[in-house]
Structure 1
Amino acid sequence: MLHMNNVMYKGHVLSAIAVTEREVVSATLVVRDPSGVQRRSGALGTFASPIGALRYAFAYGMAEIDHRKMPPSE
């Protein structure tokens, strides 16, 4: 099953994607900057739930935009 959600953060569009396959949830993130350039994170880890995966992906993207240390995954 695929779960997607978008958030605006400091002019960037963060599109978090959580995929559930065989009871394992993984997350990726697409960041579109204000000029329209997009970049994809790749796999961010495995998670206990789709909500946890989406929350982590958004935290990861916000940290990247702010040039902060990335949060540890679950």
Structure 2
Amino acid sequence: MIISSDIHPQKKVYYIGALIIQELKQLGTTEFDFFNLYAALKEKENISMNLFSLSLDWLFLLGAIDKKKNKLIVCF
């Protein structure tokens, strides 16, 4: 189950996914590098690489992002 009664929602993929989308909108770019986006998000929120990667996987499954050569692209 994605949504639960957990007292730490900031450690869930849907929350981190929302932060990723917000960061991408602020950057105003359609292509981004995995590590650059992680570094930008890490400055604002203390997240692990695993949680960041899982959140990107979740966004990929939703169709919000896609892969193009060595870059990730925004689909919204």
TM range (shorter): under 0.3
Higher helix share: 2
Structure with larger RCO (C-alpha < 8 A, sep 6+): 2
Higher strand share: 1
Q: Structure 1 length normalisation: TM-score?
A: 0.27
Q: Structure 2 length normalisation: TM-score?
A: 0.26
